Amino acid sequence: MAIINMTPDSFSDGGKYGNVDAAVAHALSCVRDGADILDIGGESTRPGAAEVTAAEEQDRVLPVIEKLAAETDALISIDTYRAETARLAVAAGAHIINDVHGLQREPEIATVAAQTSAGVCIMHTGRGREQEKRADRIADQEFFLQQSLGIARAAGISDEAIVLDPGFGFAKDRDDDLELIARFAELHRLGFPLLAGTSRKRFIGAVTGRQKADERDVGTAATTAILRLAGASIFRVHNVAANRDALAIADAVLASAAADDQRKGL
């Protein structure tokens, strides 16, 4: 899943693809590098970012989605928590709704997904819910995501349309993120495919000493390989080519392990 930011203030590439032609060209280059999904966002989610209006968000993302839908067969995802933006984006050609608030900020977004048969990425966040957070990190994931799954099911979204995202970096510190990587396999008990969004996050900079976000692609690729071995299915990244290489190695290791198990009759 390639990150296509239509924002002036995103933490890594804010303003770099601020017009439609630049964003579409970048998205198509990501497809050439091996992206299967293009995630289009019109509002920065970095801490302290200014909130934009729904109209501003839609003005940024809808022309890009329309153009990409006409120019590529790649799946298109809309990164939004707003129900109306999601509805318009799917009408413009998006296939997936990626909600960093896990359907809990505007629950009507779940109805949009159900009515349009869009796929849904449900992300865990700790923002704004300090009083209800569980001390154990996996328990908190399960508590929050089960609430989101309840909203999804009440709206009529099928389980087959859902992917879960533990929300690396969202109201989480370095230790939170590292523990989530170490315990990632425990999230499989929720029973859904898992998305990993570690790309260029602050914890990678803290571990590697890379202060500039665009210098964290090697660290990102390392987390991608680790999380693939732990069973992650989708990887939301800035640098598609580097992470494709990391996945090729991880998948080769998994294939070798599977072949060895087969030889042993396991």
Active site residues: 201, 236
The encoded tokens of residue 212 equal: 């500039």
Query: By the 8 A CB rule, do 136 and 122 touch?
Result: no
Q: Measured between alpha carbons, how far is 110 from 118 in angstroms, rounded to an integer?
A: 10
Please name the residues in contact with 48: beta carbons below 8 A apart, sequence gap of 6 or more: none
Please name the residues in contact with 64: beta carbons below 8 A apart, sequence gap of 6 or more: 4, 6, 20, 23, 24, 27, 40
Q: What are the C-alpha distances in Å from 69 to residues 61, 65, 140? A: 12, 6, 37
Query: By the 8 A CB rule, do 140 and 166 touch?
Result: no
Query: By the 8 A CB rule, do 163 and 233 touch?
Result: yes
Q: What are the C-alpha distances in Å from 48 to residues 10, 14, 15, 99, 122? A: 11, 14, 17, 18, 22
CB crowding 56-70: b at 16 or more within 10 Å, else e: ebbebbbbbbbbbbe
- Nearest by Cα to 227 from 170, 187, 175, 174: 187
Residue type present at position 74: A
